[in-house]
Chains A and B, each alone.
Chain A
Amino acid sequence: MELNAVRSRKTLSNSSEIDGDEFARLYQSQLNRVFNYVRYRLGEADAEDIVAEVFTRVWSRRHEFDARRGTPEIWLWAIARNAVTDQLRKQDQLRKKNVPISEIDEASLQASDPLDFVSETEELDRIRSAMNRLASLDREIIALRFGGGQSHRAIGELLGLQEANVAQRLRRALRKLRLLVEGNAL
C-alpha cells in the first residue's frame, strides 16, 4: 500500500489517536516493508531489534499522531527512518572507536567467483557494502524502494523530493550500485 494512496479514516476524521485496530492494520500492511527497509539500511543483525523498536514507538506514541499532518503510514515511516538514522549514528560512533560492527568488510565487496553460491543474507551484505559507497540520499532511496517497496511518489513525500527526481536519482544509483557489486566500478 502506497503512503500517498492511504487516506484512512484517521485522516478524514478529527480523531488522531491510533487505536488497536489501526495499529493492527499498520502492522499488517507495513511490517514486512519496514523490516526489509531496515535490513537494507542496517543489515540482518540489527533489523529485528530496530523493527521492534519502531512499532513499539508507534504504539507508545500513538497519542502524538496528528492526522492533519499525514497518514499513519507516513508517521510510521518517519519513525522508522529516525530509528535507522539513530542506529547508523551509533554504528558510526562505534566504528570511530574501532569496535567491529559486524563481519561485513571490504572483502565481501570484492566478490569471489560470481558463480559461487551465496545466501540471501550474504548477498544482501555484499550489496550493503557496495551501498556504502553511494551518497547517503541514494542509499536511502534504494532502501525505501527495494526494501520498503515504496513508490517514487511516496519516497518523494518522505524525503521532500519531486517524484521525477526520485526516479532519476534511483535509476542512476541503481546502475552505480550494480557496477560496484559487479566489481566494475570506475
Chain B
Amino acid sequence: MNARLSDQEFFRWLDELSDEDELPVELLAEDVADLAFAKRLLNLRVAPGEQLQLTLKKLPSMARDMDKTSLWQAGRIHCQRFFTRLAFTPRKRVLGLVLLLLALIIFLASSPSARAQLGELIDNPDRFWVLYRVVSLQSDLENPRFIISRLEPVHQYQIMRPEEAQATFPTLRIPQWAPEGLVLNENTTVMLPLAEDDPFTWKIELSWRDEANQKVIILVVEDVKSKTVWRAWNAERYSLHLYFKYPGAKIEEVMIGETPTALLRMPLRLFPIIRGWDPGMEVISLQWMDDQGYVNRLFAWADLVSIEELVHMAASMARDQGE
C-alpha cells in the first residue's frame, strides 16, 4: 500500500515536476490531487502589464529629475515662506492659528469622510508625498485625479534645453518677452507618448524664474490635434471647456491679438494635484488654442505676477515664430 508523502517529499515532488511530466501514479490519489492543484496555483502566475513595468523601471531616473521641476520648486519655496512668516508673526495671529487648528480638529471629528482621508494620509505618508512629487514632475494639469489615484505616468519625459526643444519641435512658439528679472529656465520638460498607439502627441513645459526662484511662470504647450475629444473643441469654445475643467474658477475672455483667450483666476485648491501647498493662494492663467492646434497654458502666482504682465508675455508669442 502506498504511504502518504511527508511534507518534505511532497514539496520536493512539486519542485521537480515539470508541466510536461505525468503525475506520478505510484503516489496516493490524495497526494496526486494536491500536487496537481499546487501546480495549477503556480501556473496562474502572470507577468505585470508592460506599462507598469516601464514606469517602475524608470522610477529612479524620474526621481532624479523631480527637483528640477518648476512646480515642485515653487511649492517648496512657498512652504518655506509660510514657515518663515509664521516665525515672525505676532502672538495674536499665532493664537488665531491655534484656534483654527482646533476648529480643524473639531471638523475632522465630526466629518467621517474627512477623517477617512486624513487616516489614509497618515497610513500612507510616503504615498502622498511621492504622488505629489511624481505629479509635480509631470506638471500635468489635465488629468489630475487620474494621476493622483494611479502612479503610472502617462508620458515619457525628457529634460532638454529650450533651444533643443525648439529645434526638436520647430513649430513651438516661445514668448519673446517675460516680466523683468525673469529668465527662461534651462530645464525644459518634454513629454512624449509612452507607446506608439498612444493618442497623445507631445507636451512641453517651460518655466521662467527669478534669481530667488520665487517668481515662477510656467508655460505648457500641448499638441492636442490627435485627441479625438479635442476635435470637437475649436478655439472659440475653449473657454467653455475650462468651466468644466476648473469648476469654481473665475473665467473671462480676453483677446490677445485675434485669439480669444481664457483668463482664469483660481485658488490653488482647484488644482487637486498640488494639494499640500497653501490652498488659498491664487493662480492666474491664460489659456488658448492657437492657430496650429496647440493648447497653450500660462500659469503664474497672482501675488507675484500681474495679469497685464502675463497678457504681454502671451502676446509676445508671435505668429511668425515657430512656423
A123 (CB) vs chain B CBs: closest residue? B44
State how many angstroms separate the Cβ of B17 from the closest Cβ of chain A: 14
> Does B42 make an interface contact (CB < 8 A)?
yes
Whether B45 and A51, one on each chain, are in contact in the complex, defined by CB atoms closer than 8 angstroms, is no
A36: chain B residues within 8 A (beta carbon): 45-46
State how many angstroms separate the Cβ of B60 from the closest Cβ of chain A: 4
* A-contacting residues, B45-59, CB 8 Å: 45-49, 52-53, 55-57, 59
Whether B150 and A49, one on each chain, are in contact in the complex, defined by CB atoms closer than 8 angstroms, is yes
Chain A interfacial residues counted at CB < 8 A = 42
* A-contacting residues, B31-45, CB 8 Å: 33-34, 37-38, 40-42, 44-45
Partner of A52, one of B8, B46, B120, B150: B150
B223: chain A residues within 8 A (beta carbon): none
Size category of the binding interface on chain B: 35 or more
Whether B30 and A57, one on each chain, are in contact in the complex, defined by CB atoms closer than 8 angstroms, is no
Q: What's the Cα separation between A61 and B124 when bound, in Å?
A: 12
> Does B7 make an interface contact (CB < 8 A)?
yes
Whether B151 and A142, one on each chain, are in contact in the complex, defined by CB atoms closer than 8 angstroms, is no
Whether A60 and B47, one on each chain, are in contact in the complex, defined by CB atoms closer than 8 angstroms, is no
B34: chain A residues within 8 A (beta carbon): 171, 174-175, 178
Whether B48 and A57, one on each chain, are in contact in the complex, defined by CB atoms closer than 8 angstroms, is no
B126: chain A residues within 8 A (beta carbon): 56-57, 60-61
Q: What's the Cα separation between A124 and B41 when bound, in Å?
A: 8
State how many angstroms separate the Cβ of A53 from the closest Cβ of chain B: 6
B59: chain A residues within 8 A (beta carbon): 23, 55-56, 59
Whether A56 and B130, one on each chain, are in contact in the complex, defined by CB atoms closer than 8 angstroms, is yes
A53: chain B residues within 8 A (beta carbon): 124, 127, 151
> Does B243 make an interface contact (CB < 8 A)?
no
A90: chain B residues within 8 A (beta carbon): 120
Whether B53 and A31, one on each chain, are in contact in the complex, defined by CB atoms closer than 8 angstroms, is yes
State how many angstroms separate the Cβ of B310 from the closest Cβ of chain A: 35
For A59, A123, A146, A149, which residue has the most chain B Cβ atoms within 10 angstroms?
Answer: A146
Chain B residues packing against A (C-beta within 8 Å): 7-8, 10-11, 30, 33-34, 37-38, 40-42, 44-49, 52-53, 55-57, 59-61, 63, 120, 123-124, 126-127, 129-130, 134, 149-152
Known: A57-B126, A59-B59, A170-B11. 10 other contacts (CB 8 A): A23-B60, A31-B56, A32-B47, A35-B47, A49-B149, A56-B130, A60-B129, A167-B11, A178-B33, A178-B34
Nearest 4 CB-CB pairs, A to B? A146-B41, A52-B151, A20-B60, A178-B37
